[in-house]
Structure 1
Amino acid sequence: MTKSNRNVAVVSKITSKNQVTIPKAVREALNVKSSDEIEWELRSDGQITVKRMSPEKDDFWKMVDEQEKKYGKVDTPEIDWGPDAGSEDFD
Structure 2
Amino acid sequence: MSAGNVTKVSSKITSKNQITIPKIVRELLKVHSADSIEWQIEPNGRVMITRSQPDLWQIIEEQENKFGNLSTTEIDWGKDVESADFD
State TM-score, norm by structure 2.
0.63
- Displacement of 1:22 after TM fit? 0.1
Matched pairs, number: 65
- Structure 1: 4+ residue segments shifted above 4 A: none
Return the alpha-carbon distance in structure 2 between the equivalents of residues 13 and 70 of structure 1. Answer: 39
1:54-88 C-alpha deviation (Å, 9 max, x unpaired):
1222217x726972x678xxxxxxxxxxxxxxxxx
Percent identity at matched positions? 43
Say whether residues 1:32 and 2:31 are aligned partners.
yes
Looking at secondary structure, tell me which structure has more strand per residue. Answer: 2
Q: What displacement does 1:15 show?
A: 0.4
2:45 pairs with 1:17: no
Separation in 2, partners of 1:21, 1:58 = 28
Is the radius of gyration larger for structure 1 or structure 2?
2
- Aligned-pair RMSD on alpha carbons? 2.4
TM-score, length-scaled by structure 1: 0.61
The answer for unaligned runs of 5 or more in structure 2 is 69-87
More helix by share: 2
